[in-house]
Structure 1
Amino acid sequence: MSDSPTPAASGQRIPTSTLLAAAQADGAVQIPLLYIPLGDSAKVAIKVQVSVDGWNNGQPVTQFYEFDTGGKGFWLDSTTISTSGVTSPGTVETLYTSGNYYSGPAAAATVSFPGAVVPTGTGTPAITAEVGLITTFDQYPQGSMIQSTDPLVVVSRATGKQVYPKAASFPIFTECYGDFGASLNPTAGPPSLSNPTAGFPSLLSVLAQYLPTRSGLETGFIVSVPTGEGDTGWLILGVGSQLSALFTTVVTMNPGTPDSFTLPNGSTVPTYSEQVINADVTLGKQNLPSLGICLDTGCPHVVLHGGTSLVITNAGQNMGPLTITVGATQLMQTDTYATMPSPATPDGPGYINTGVQNFMPFQVLYNIATGKLYLS
């Protein structure tokens, strides 16, 4: 391989063989991703092994989890495993736009990846991070949100009226026993449905807490999703010069609030917003410059979330052709999308979740150390 690999043309996928060869040359770990058909779209899954002191009789649990770049923290099914022996700093919870609600104790875990390809000279990843052990799994109506003025109430984003859940069970999407969140934004820690009197622990993606030990690798990862049944996708841990050289478009990631997260060893890593980048949007006859974009493998379709700039009055409202551009790169052009109305209580300008479809024509590199995001 040459010192400077040839990048893909802007907006094209890097051939898998080229991507994996660069990862091998850099000494980056390569983890398979599974394609799960879901109607006219797909879900992506990752196989993970988790060990927690005092849990599952001291034995590791190995399962598939949804690989979710829009999700915060790692949440795993413990609805049939007692958590009575687990030492926990407190209860954690999350509510997804899909309506899935998870709650349970936070716990320190060791996370590893069966099936990972580990180059010679690179240590096998065994990441220590706090995770959420799901003891309550409920399903609210799609588009629900925790009320900003009362964290003990869940309401419809569209109407502001209170909504109620039904009990749910695993697996989800036929294969998955929780959500392996890869968002670089941590969960918040105010009072909550599950812990109404105090703050609760904050969780951050396991991937953001992987600190490469091999010289020349920076903290970060690459997402190359599988594009169909029978295709293997890849998560690459660690970012080196050979990998970076394959990508054509570079964007600055939006900082998180707060902008850093303290790891179990006392060191800190930077965090980034759920709307990880901004892009220029044309929607029908509207021009919306520098709108927030959530790159989300966990969302099966493109979803427009209304706000004060991206004003949406009705669910399902079609507002004309959508074009999203980052610099000179057209990220997406479509007239097929879902819409979530602007909330009754304004909470920002609105944003677009580009869904898993955005990852089909592109690979995405997140360099956590430098705060840059790369598109192939």
Structure 2
Amino acid sequence: MSDTTPTLIPPLVAPLTPTPLPAPVTGLTDKQVAALGGTIVPLYIYPIPPKQSDLAPFEPSTGKTSDQGHKIGIVVDVTIPSTGATATNVLYEFDTGGKGFWASQGQFTASGTNPVVPASGNAANLGAVITQYSSGITYLGTGVVATVSLPQAVVPDNGPVPTVTTGMAVVETILELSDGQELPGSFPIFGNFSGDFGVSLQQTATVTPPLKHNLPYPFDLQVPSQQPALLSIMAQLGVDSFIVDLVTLTTPAAAPGAGTLPVKAGRLILGPSSAFAPYFPQYQAMTATGTTYTPPQSSASAASAKPIATYEEALLFGSLAVASNQAVGVPVVFDTGAPGVMLHSGEQPPQLSKDGFTPVVGDQLLLNTQLDSGEGTGFESNVQSLLSFTVGEVIGENAASMAGIVGQTQSGFINTGLTTFLAYQIMYDLQNGLIRFPAQGKATT
């Protein structure tokens, strides 16, 4: 779920000539991943339940879908060392468009008479925090220093599961948009999740940005003017790279929070970038923010931690065509928290006006970018289509919509949502600051 709007300067212009999409990687079996030194963490695919009777299995390319698409889940363990509170084997939304990790306080078990959240003035209490998502959800809570791990990770040679001690948010209040108003809500969100495991490589703002949705009294009084910066756990695990694989699917025997809800499981692969880069030969430098993140000084890892590079939410730029309307230099957000493709109109170029770029069924939608495949031998530019389809009504496959107008100082952008991730794997090469894609597929005749 994207919670900010990118305002960036495009480096490249890609011609609007359709190409085959990146071809899904087929050679990375679980056994091969382990041989390459990779760790595998399950990612669970759940339909969004508008009501229980509307649930349908996740089956790409069959047209079977829930009314509102799907969400991705990951199981996480959390311990707050200063209070001893724990939240074990809890399912959170895996959200590449969200910043920081936000976990429901209701999932924590307190230690003795200690509170879950460390008291104000304790170095492990980082202060009040707030975030809002395009879905209409608002979280209010407290930033804390916590130890976060991925308990379902399958690690080569039975090594320790990925773990880091850093800043995250304990959510004390959830508000949800209803008939244009933010009202008190409850967990789980989207039927299954106890918060948002944000994977965006951009840190949260320390000065609270203008709210997307005004809050009613007394919640409006709880909005901090400043707050601690939080960064995704994935960026802090010390891994070279991670791959989001929602193409290689299995049917799990059981999935947390699912009950009888039909799900599939994909993979989050963590490992050395040099080992996995050959499977993702096309790449582009991720758009850097120019700032770095340092874990809270009270965290166990802070003493030895190096500043971590951060990147804009829109990691690259592309050229976009919707029917006969075209725009270049369009910021592109890859967001597993958005069920389908969403366009956002802006006041600054490229505006992506609602009149010209609102997709309707039957329109041709094309998103191209320029990728390198030189691997150190010089820039070898390739035009690559990231999206190319006739607009339909299957969310996550061919549905697209205009989400609304963003701030006056901001440009329009496209959020590819789950549609790209369900079509091919994407690799985040943290060691080299690159976003990587599989090789271009072969043209069909």
State the Cα distance separating 1:314 from its structure 2 match: 6.8
Q: How many equivalent residue pairs?
A: 338
Letter in 2 for 1:275: A
Aligned to 2:97, the other structure's residue is in SS state: coil
State the Cα distance separating 1:277 from its structure 2 match: 1.4
Are residue 63 (structure 1) and residue 125 (structure 2) matched?
no
State the identity %.
28
Aligned residue for 1:173?
Answer: 190
State the Cα distance separating 1:90 from its structure 2 match: 0.5
Cα distance between partner residues in 2 of 1:175 and 1:315 = 37
The answer (yes or no) to whether the contact 2:130–2:224 under 8 Å persists in 1 is no
State the Cα distance separating 1:198 from its structure 2 match: 4.2
Query: Structure 1, residues 276-296: CA drift from partner, whole Å, max 9, x if none?
Result: 111121122232122111101
Please list, as runs of the form range in 1=range in 2, the aligned pairs for 1:8-19 lying within 5 A after superposition: 11-15=22-26, 18-19=28-29
Aligned residue for 2:293?
Answer: 261
Aligned residue for 2:312?
Answer: 273
Cα distance between partner residues in 1 of 2:221 and 2:92 = 23
The match for 1:329 among 384, 395, 414 is 384
The answer (yes or no) to whether the contact 2:273–2:429 under 8 Å persists in 1 is no
Query: Structure 1, residues 201-260: CA drift from partner, whole Å, max 9, x if none?
Result: 011000000114xxxxx2x2110126685532111123332311111321221112x531
1:278/1:19 CA distance change after superposition, 3 Å: farther
The answer (yes or no) to whether the contact 1:28–1:122 under 8 Å persists in 2 is no
1:49/1:84 CA distance change after superposition, 3 Å: closer
Aligned residue for 2:81?
Answer: 53
Worse-superposed segment, 183-192 or 76-85? 76-85
Aligned residue for 2:411?
Answer: 349
Letter in 2 for 1:347: T
Aligned residue for 2:70?
Answer: 42
Aligned residue for 1:117?
Answer: 154
RMSD over aligned Cα, in angstroms? Answer: 2.6
The match for 1:339 among 402, 405, 430 is 402
Aligned residue for 1:92?
Answer: 129
1:317/1:10 CA distance change after superposition, 3 Å: closer
The match for 2:427 among 365, 368, 374 is 365
The match for 1:206 among 225, 230, 233 is 233
The match for 1:232 among 260, 265, 282 is 265
1:84/1:122 CA distance change after superposition, 3 Å: closer
Unmatched tracts of structure 1, length 5 or more: 1-8, 143-162, 213-217
State the Cα distance separating 1:126 from its structure 2 match: 1.3
Q: Normalising by the residue count of structure 2, what TM-score does the alignment of the two structures yield?
A: 0.70
Aligned residue for 1:25?
Answer: 35
Cα distance between partner residues in 2 of 1:124 and 1:140 = 37
1:296/1:80 CA distance change after superposition, 3 Å: closer
Cα distance between partner residues in 2 of 1:100 and 1:121 = 38
The match for 1:221 among 242, 246, 271 is 242
Cα distance between partner residues in 2 of 1:121 and 1:171 = 32
Aligned to 2:340, the other structure's residue is in SS state: coil
Aligned residue for 1:250?
Answer: 283
Aligned residue for 2:378?
Answer: none
Aligned to 1:360, the other structure's residue is in SS state: helix
Cα distance between partner residues in 2 of 1:43 and 1:197 = 29
Query: Structure 1, residues 47-102: CA drift from partner, whole Å, max 9, x if none?
Result: 111111245x5344320000000010000001475545454120111100000001
Unmatched tracts of structure 2, length 5 or more: 1-19, 49-65, 109-114, 210-219, 252-261, 297-301, 371-382, 392-398, 439-445
1:352/1:141 CA distance change after superposition, 3 Å: farther
Cα distance between partner residues in 2 of 1:315 and 1:285 = 9
The answer (yes or no) to whether the contact 1:54–1:83 under 8 Å persists in 2 is no
Aligned residue for 2:105?
Answer: 78
The match for 2:353 among 306, 312, 337 is 312
State the Cα distance separating 1:300 from its structure 2 match: 0.7
State the Cα distance separating 1:195 from its structure 2 match: 5.6
Aligned to 2:170, the other structure's residue is in SS state: strand
The answer (yes or no) to whether the contact 1:186–1:205 under 8 Å persists in 2 is yes
Letter in 2 for 1:13: P
Letter in 2 for 1:312: S
The answer (yes or no) to whether the contact 2:95–2:336 under 8 Å persists in 1 is yes
Letter in 2 for 1:278: F
Letter in 2 for 1:321: Q
1:325/1:21 CA distance change after superposition, 3 Å: farther
Letter in 1 for 2:171: I
Cα distance between partner residues in 2 of 1:234 and 1:14 = 13
Aligned to 2:28, the other structure's residue is in SS state: helix
State the Cα distance separating 1:32 from its structure 2 match: 0.7
The answer (yes or no) to whether the contact 1:92–1:194 under 8 Å persists in 2 is no
